[in-house]
Amino acid sequence: MNGMLKNMLSEWFSTGFLNLERVTWQSPCEVLQKISDFEAVHPVRNWLDMKHRVGSYRRCYFFAHCAIPREPLIVLHVALTNEISSSVQAIVKEVPPLETEDMNKITTAIFYSISLTHQGLQGVELGTYLIKRVVKELQGEFPQIKVFSSLSPIPGFTKWLIGLLSSQTKEQGRNELFTDAECLEISKITGDPVSEKLKRLLTNNEWVRSERLVTALHLPFMRLCAWYLYGEKHRGYALNPVANFHLQNGAVIWRINWMGDTSPRGITASCGMMVNYRYFLEDTASNSAEYLGTKHIKASEQVLSLVSQFQQNSKL
């Protein structure tokens, strides 16, 4: 029954029935309110925040079905920048929008939030279609844009890491997560046993209050995150759902960003880290086919180097 319903929804919400609409500050109030209410990745704080997200150097698009206009089905927020962004706070912070955009400062499009507004549409490939349509829209408006990338959350990383620390705790003397030097430095700050203390600190986010501990955990957590995205699998594909989505679209795991999301939600979900999935438009089709067919993940040298460091220190 679920498969039959999914097929029916896929036909009903196929691209031929969907209209791409851009949201601006002049859009109907009901649309702006829905965009704000449905934002699932980086919650909108107030109307000034909403105005900034649809203002200068920002774009917001949604798909609506031709039979129900003004009803967003899936929403994509884009930042127009001159580089691949590493911090979401730099994108969503409250600043007065500039009146005009300097075309010379727009060379990169950052997809920093994509939200499905109705849970019943999960499994219908709206996100893939929306990104493709938005890329075409942006290319038409800004022919000079050559770089397309996401700035994505890493949901599930902290939970996965706490699970690893728990397994380390159960097997006394076992350490496959940190080098000896890292263990020594961390233990000076937290005390022994390192795994048990870290697990407790990660559970309540207290670790970010210590600048020394944040510095000590920088490299090992980056290493662990790279492995989580690249090496942890579900049926051969990336375990992380956001990674799997972008890899299916043909993107490359490009860069892991330390303290890319310092909000309480970001610290809780992924120890503050975010990741860029970069879209090389000429390669997305072949990358997608390779990932779906052979389950091979394309990643940058930064990510592969971190994965290699993890493998040298671990038997996982």
Residues contacting 113, CB < 8 A, separation 6+: 39, 40, 41, 42, 75, 76, 77
Architecture of domain 2-150: 3-Layer(aba) Sandwich (3.40)
Distance CA 221, CA 24 (A): 39
Q: Is the pLDDT score of 218 beyond 80?
A: yes
Question: Catalytic annotation on 195?
Answer: no
Distance CA 223, CA 256 (A): 9
Catalytic residue among 152, 195, 270, 288, which?
Answer: 152
- CATH class of residue range 157-313: alpha beta
Q: Which 3 state secondary structure label does DSSP give 138? A: helix
Q: Which sequence spans correspond to the domains of the chain?
A: 2-150, 157-313
pLDDT tens digits, 277-290 = 999 999 999 999 99
pLDDT at 88: 97
Residue-averaged pLDDT of the chain: 89
Per-residue pLDDT band for 112 (boundaries 50, 70, 90) equals very high
As a whole number of Å, the CA-based R_g of the chain is: 21
Catalytic residue among 42, 52, 77, 246, which?
Answer: 246
Question: Catalytic annotation on 152?
Answer: yes
Distance CA 23, CA 27 (A): 6
Distance CA 247, CA 242 (A): 9
Distance CA 302, CA 256 (A): 8
DSSP 96: P
Q: Let me know if the fold of 2-150 is the same as that of 157-313.
A: yes
